[in-house]
């Protein structure tokens, strides 16, 4: 994944420090935790996976390998749920 965008049919709000999403296509709600919310914010700011990674490393006390593994897994989950779309 190199460029990440929030899917067109997703609406979201930040409530009490976490992002809550609603898929207009499925009606499914998803609430993101602290780290998920930070990833969502970083996607909004830039959308490049490398920028999201750099933002996470700057925001949390995490080593690079763990960051890469966790970020890739989380992005795959968002993609599977239709919350994001990716391009090159």
The string of pLDDT tens digits covering residues 6-48 is 999 999 999 999 999 999 999 999 999 999 999 999 999 999 9
Distances, alpha carbon 65 to alpha carbons 68, 71, 87, in Å: 5, 10, 23
What span, in angstroms and rounded, lies between the C-alpha atoms of 45 and 1? 16
Give residue 73's pLDDT: 96
Helix-then-strand count for the chain, H and E: 3, 5
pTM, two decimal places: 0.91
């Amino acid at each position: 994944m190199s460029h990440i965008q929030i899917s067109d049919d997703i609406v979201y709000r930040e409530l009490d420090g976490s992002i809550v999403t609603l898929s207009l296509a499925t009606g499914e709600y998803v609430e993101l935790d602290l780290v998920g919310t930070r990833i969502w914010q970083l996607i909004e700011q830039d959308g490049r996976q490398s920028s999201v990674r750099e933002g996470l490393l700057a925001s949390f006390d995490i080593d690079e390998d763990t960051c890469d593994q966790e970020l890739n897994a989380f992005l795959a989950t968002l993609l599977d749920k239709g919350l994001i779309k990716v391009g090159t």
